[in-house]
Structure 1
Amino acid sequence: MEEQTLQQELTAAKRKSAKPMLWVSMISMVMFFAGLTSAYVISMKRDDWVTFDLPDAFFISTFLIIGSSITLMLSQRFLKQGKRQLSLILVVITFILGIAFIWQQYEGFEQLKSLGLYFTGKGSTVSTSFIIGITLMHVLHIFAGVVVLFVVIYNHFKYKYKPNDLLGFELGAIFWHFVDILWIYLFFFFYFIR
């Protein structure tokens, strides 16, 4: 009896600390990307700074990531309404859009290479190194988000989410929306600050 009570208290403590811990990690990511974009702005004063248009794939990936946030928001709403099947379909679509986003980022890097703009080496410039480096760091976070979405899908199949118990889903959604908003910020940053 005491062991069961202790287990319930531990579970309640974990649930209570989950969102604050996620927020702390997201704040640290904001600080990381703020540092990178600040270094980008400072480096623009260099004589060897080169300005170029963003690859078309970055525009496409922006629409994909916005679409993924919409589908995940709808999925959560339908799950709260008890419409599990529709919720599951939408979270799978979100996962696919996340994979498509990563692919479009790769295509963007390839488009830069086709223009002779490289991350490192002979064809690299300070500006391309910054854009590719910062974007690559974001892609790593998106990849982590895709893994989170995979876990959400798995738990969805296992019936772990109920309309009144969505903590795991909510944590995954918060992280996914965060990396989406982060990309939108980076996209507009690169688009307007050249």
Structure 2
Amino acid sequence: MITEEKLQEELLVAKRKSAKPMLWVSMISMVMFFAGLTSAYVISMRRDDWVSFDLPEAFYISTVLIVLSSISLLLSQRFIKSDKRQLSLFFVVLTLVLGLGFVWQQYVGFNQLKSIGLFFTGPESTVSTSFIIGITFLHVLHLLAGVVVLLVVIYNHFKYKYKPNDFLGFELGAIFWHFVDILWIYLFFFFSFIK
């Protein structure tokens, strides 16, 4: 006879088996998408009207913020595993604040580009600025999806849905957040060294 506890455990295993592969498939498709965009960037560098420039200072600040957000989310996950709910909640909220700081710094970076005459579209735009602003903006949209995920994780935290042995939603949200963070770090170094 199957007990209620055994049934819950089997359901959790079934969820885990289906949820993680679906997340990985979506992340692989995002990698392919950004690989295509960065490949188009490299090919477009051969154009006669290509303009090289340094990344705005705000992009450096946003990179630091996103790395710190990953560290704070790792700490939050570690604390939920050891059943330290308040510390876990503090660090996941800190992750959200750092993520919003990242979005703000991206906005500041776009304005810094405008202030030196580099625009996304219009007569003053260049192919290189259109690529950098476009790709960065698409990454920010993915990060905003990560912010929504963090809000759900925080909400579920308040509802006591995560336990040291059952935090699948938290884990999936963390995987997505770290992925988006790593994606930005790739883009940052790509734009820094390939001009």
* Cα distance in 2 for residues equivalent to 1:37 and 1:170: 29
Matches within 5 A, 1:1-194: 12-194=13-195
* Cα distance in 2 for residues equivalent to 1:64 and 1:128: 23
Alpha-carbon offset, residue 102 of structure 1 = 0.3
Alpha-carbon offset, residue 123 of structure 1 = 1.1
* Cα distance in 2 for residues equivalent to 1:158 and 1:10: 20
Give unpaired runs (5+ residues) of structure 1: none
Write the letter of the residue equivalent to 2:192: Y
Alpha-carbon offset, residue 166 of structure 1 = 1.1
Number of equivalent positions: 192
* Runs of 4+ with deviation above 2 angstroms: 7-15
Give unpaired runs (5+ residues) of structure 2: none
* Cα distance in 2 for residues equivalent to 1:18 and 1:170: 10
* Cα distance in 2 for residues equivalent to 1:181 and 1:21: 19
Alpha-carbon offset, residue 13 of structure 1 = 3.1
Normalising by the residue count of structure 1, what TM-score does the alignment of the two structures yield? 0.95
* Cα distance in 2 for residues equivalent to 1:10 and 1:70: 31
- Give the percent of matched residue pairs that are identical in Structure 1 and Structure 2: 80
Alpha-carbon offset, residue 10 of structure 1 = 6.2
Alpha-carbon offset, residue 12 of structure 1 = 4.7
**Residues 142-178 of structure 1, C-alpha deviation per residue, up to 9 Å, x if partnerless?**
0000000000000000000000001000000000000
Write the letter of the residue equivalent to 2:60: F
Alignment root-mean-square deviation, CA: 1.7
SS at match of 2:55: coil
Q: Name whichever of 10-19 and 22-31 sits farther off.
A: 10-19
